[in-house]
Amino acid sequence: MGDAVGELMLQAPVATGDAPPSGAPAVRRVRWQFWRSPPDQPGWARPLLLAVAALAALSYAWGMNSATLETFYGAAVRSMSQSWHNFFFGAFDPWGTVTIDKLPGAFWVQALSVRLFGLHIWAVVLPQAVEGTLTVLVLYRAVRRVAGAGAGLTAAVVLAATPVTILRNRGNISDSLLILLLVLAADATTAAFMTGRLAHLIMAGAWVGLAFQAKMLQAWLVLPVLLLTYVLAAPSPVLARRLGHAALAALVALVVSLSWMLVVTAVPAHDRPYVDGSCNNSVFSQVFLYNGTDRLTGDTLDQPGCSPAPSPVEASSARTGTNTGEETVAVPQGPGRFLNGMFGRDSDWMLVPAAVSFGGILVARRRQPRTDALRAAAVLWGVWLVFTWCFFASSNFINSYYLAAFAPPIAALCGMGLALAWRLRAKRATRVVVLGTVVGGTAYALYLLPADAGVGPWVWASTLALALAAVAVLAWSLLSERATGVVAAGVALSAIALLLGSAWASGTVVTAGQGPFDSAYQSAALNEQEHSAHASAAAAVPGEVRAAARVAPSVSVVTNETSAESSGVIFATGREFLPVGGFSGRVPSTTLAQFVGDVRSGRVMVVLAAIAPRTRNPDMLWTIAHCPPARTLADRVIDGRSMRFYFCAPADAGG
């Protein structure tokens, strides 16, 4: 085993990329084909990388035609696929009255897929599976640049075997594209600080700008890290020159980030949908307040122009749809919020070896020149992890899939750390550190296993047995300095033992058919609840389509208070179910004057309004005061709210 792992480890000096070390056999040059390694990489690198990418793609795409979608995003994608006007502005509903409450970058890709292949669940999920697979390949390249093919391959395996990576790529959330673009930015930055070429750094800024289009301010969390790393390690001896390059890259990132927002702002309000998530129809308010500071303070839409905040019961019904699992949740703030429970099980299996790798690289390379590439890469990925961790630790609301941003830096640090440990395996200190990492990492992995989720005994047994074997072999190697084969086997067993907990968790994610709103080792009861809810919603689709077909296309089938209430039926039918308050029910879309005008013109007839607790939306209050209840339609209860249908005739609006 040791010889085999040796082949997979570093084929290059740490600081100079992939040139073979002194005395290493020359790489055989062959005519390049996509499954064969390029001349500057060992022959096994490309085939093994493609195998890892293929397995990752399979785990993302497995059963994707039965994936549980976020119907709010799905409805927007269907509406965006119906017209280029809706596509460009990110309209939520087919009439294009209101946007989605986020920038539409990631949903553009999904809408193009639906426009190309037609409306299928797999067509909505396919872009995320492709983006996730590309992320594995790009991370390999970024790590290989500084630490060799073995390190890159290790990073790719760790990323592909992290549960949150699989979960996020099995749905229709925007994080898949965000992470791909940020890893592309990290790869370009790595090339920039190794070569000193400004073009690479400018490209990194452009990738960050595009990532902003996918997930807004979260993309900017990484930008200071990228620029700091370049300033610290780029080969130019003139600090002012390096700072100038960083400033130019930041400017590029800013221009690309704000480009779409500036265009939308320049379009007259009557020619575009109302910007959801804002009280003043401003995309800047949507991005920097609603999706920015409000996420930290929890004071959402407390600005002039919006309706008053809902009661706790009303707030609990703000998000509806087919998924009943893990939604936006309030969790006690602080850096420890990710270390256990569902958050820990989704992202932290390899946190211990990543942390040890970060510290080990900084210590081992402390006397190297300022331009040392391995140390610079460790700073890049390590500070990325710390910055993102601290930001989400302070956030008032958090979703498990947000933690997908932790996966690339953890994987990259593990790859570089294992490569360094392999190179320095002859040192006793290295083996002691590896042994301690196995003990600590395995103990943490066993701690993450939930006691009440029916975890099979083989998970405990195999994880513990492999860790004990690695510890035993490493301990043996410490007693005999000449046991080179034993040392190699100990490091190899340690790597496998540390990865096993994450691999087991990822396997359960795939076999249980879970998606972005789930968590590794989620209870069977919750899995069944979610699948039942999804099946029930799917069974209702034919009836919804038939009901919508009986209404003229120029009329809202049913008018609802929130986009969330309209999302499932818009996704199912592609017809207008007019939302008059945006996602939250609080934004002035449509205004009361517009709503009354729609009633007068016959565009709005059937309205579903909350009567207990009573709605606070002005359009709905007007409906209750002026329109009679629709006696042929029974009241219903939705998420604890009593809802009543009203039938509005033009005469009710004075028409």
Q: What is the pLDDT of residues 85-117, one digit of tens each?
A: 999 999 999 999 999 999 999 999 999 999 999
Range of lowest pLDDT (30-39, 48-57, 185-194, 207-216): 30-39
Helix-strand-coil split of the chain, %, nearest 5? 65, 5, 30
- Is 210 buried (19+), middle (13-18) or exposed (0-12) by CB count in 10 A? buried
Res 546: pLDDT: 87
Cis status of the peptide bond prior to 579, with omega within 30 of 0:
no
The residue that leads in pLDDT, 338 or 533, is 338
Is 55:160 a contact under the CB 8 Å cutoff?
yes
Q: How far is CA 224 from CA 86, 186, 215, in A?
A: 34, 11, 17
Cα separation, 186 vs 208, in Å, equals 9
Q: Give the residue from 221, 46, 159 showing the smallest Cα distance to 414.
A: 159
Q: Is the pLDDT of residue 66 over 90?
A: no
**Which residues, in sequence order, are CB contacts of 418 under 8 Å at separation 6+?**
9, 150, 151, 154, 353, 357, 491, 495
Mean pLDDT of 245-270: 97
Mean pLDDT of 25-32: 47
Q: Give the residue from 535, 536, 505 showing the smallest Cα distance to 522.
A: 505
Cα separation, 149 vs 166, in Å, equals 23
User: How far apart, in Å, do the first and last CA atoms of the chain sit?
Assistant: 83
Structure tokens at 351: 């946190």
Q: Is the pLDDT of residue 313 over 70?
A: no
Q: Go through the chain and tell me how many residues it has.
A: 655
User: Angle CA(215)–CA(216)–CA(217) in degrees, nearest 5?
Assistant: 120
- The structure's pTM equals 0.90
- Is 597 buried (19+), middle (13-18) or exposed (0-12) by CB count in 10 A? middle
* 591 pLDDT tier (thresholds 50, 70, 90): very high
**Which residues, in sequence order, are CB contacts of 428 under 8 Å at separation 6+?**
478, 481
Q: Is the pLDDT of residue 324 over 70?
A: no
Structure tokens at 294: 């409000």
The residue that leads in pLDDT, 184 or 655, is 184
Q: How many alpha carbons lie under 13 Å from residue 545 in its C-beta half-sphere?
A: 10
Query: For tokens 């331009």, what's the residue?
Result: 371
Res 483: pLDDT: 63
Q: Is the pLDDT of residue 441 over 60?
A: yes
**Three-state DSSP class for residue 643:** strand
Mean pLDDT of 464-493: 85
- Which range of 33-37, 248-252, 344-348, 470-474 scores highest in mean pLDDT? It is 248-252
* 481 pLDDT tier (thresholds 50, 70, 90): low
Range of lowest pLDDT (37-51, 516-530, 581-595): 516-530
- Name the amino acid, one letter, at 562: T
Q: What is the pLDDT of residues 160-196, one digit of tens each?
A: 999 999 999 999 999 999 999 999 999 999 999 999 9
Mean pLDDT of 591-596: 95
Is 598:106 a contact under the CB 8 Å cutoff?
no
Query: For tokens 């006793």, what's the residue?
Result: 428
User: Angle CA(207)–CA(209)–CA(210) in degrees, nearest 5?
Assistant: 65
Task: Write out 546-573 in H/E/C secondary structure.
Answer: HHHHCCCCCCECCEECCHHHHHHHHHHH
**Three-state DSSP class for residue 43:** coil
Q: Give the residue from 287, 138, 161 showing the smallest Cα distance to 216.
A: 287
Q: Is the pLDDT of residue 238 over 90?
A: yes
* 234 pLDDT tier (thresholds 50, 70, 90): very high
Cα separation, 344 vs 480, in Å, equals 38
Res 555: pLDDT: 96
Q: How far is CA 419 from CA 146, 230, 491, in A?
A: 11, 23, 10
Q: Give the residue from 505, 571, 515, 562 showing the smallest Cα distance to 538.
A: 571
Res 242: pLDDT: 96
Range of lowest pLDDT (301-310, 312-321, 575-584, 646-655): 312-321
The residue that leads in pLDDT, 385 or 519, is 385
Cα separation, 152 vs 18, in Å, equals 11
Q: What is the pLDDT of residues 602-645, one digit of tens each?
A: 999 999 999 988 889 999 999 999 999 998 889 988 878 899 99
Q: What is the pLDDT of residues 358-412, one digit of tens each?
A: 999 999 999 999 999 999 999 999 999 999 999 888 877 788 888 999 999 999 9
Q: What is the mean pLDDT of the chain?
A: 88
The residue that leads in pLDDT, 643 or 335, is 643
Q: Reading across the β-sheet that carries 636-638, which strands appear in turn?
A: 606-612, 641-647, 636-638
* 38 pLDDT tier (thresholds 50, 70, 90): confident
Q: Is the pLDDT of residue 264 over 50?
A: yes
Is 428:478 a contact under the CB 8 Å cutoff?
yes
Cα separation, 618 vs 623, in Å, equals 9
Res 331: pLDDT: 64
Mean pLDDT of 489-497: 91
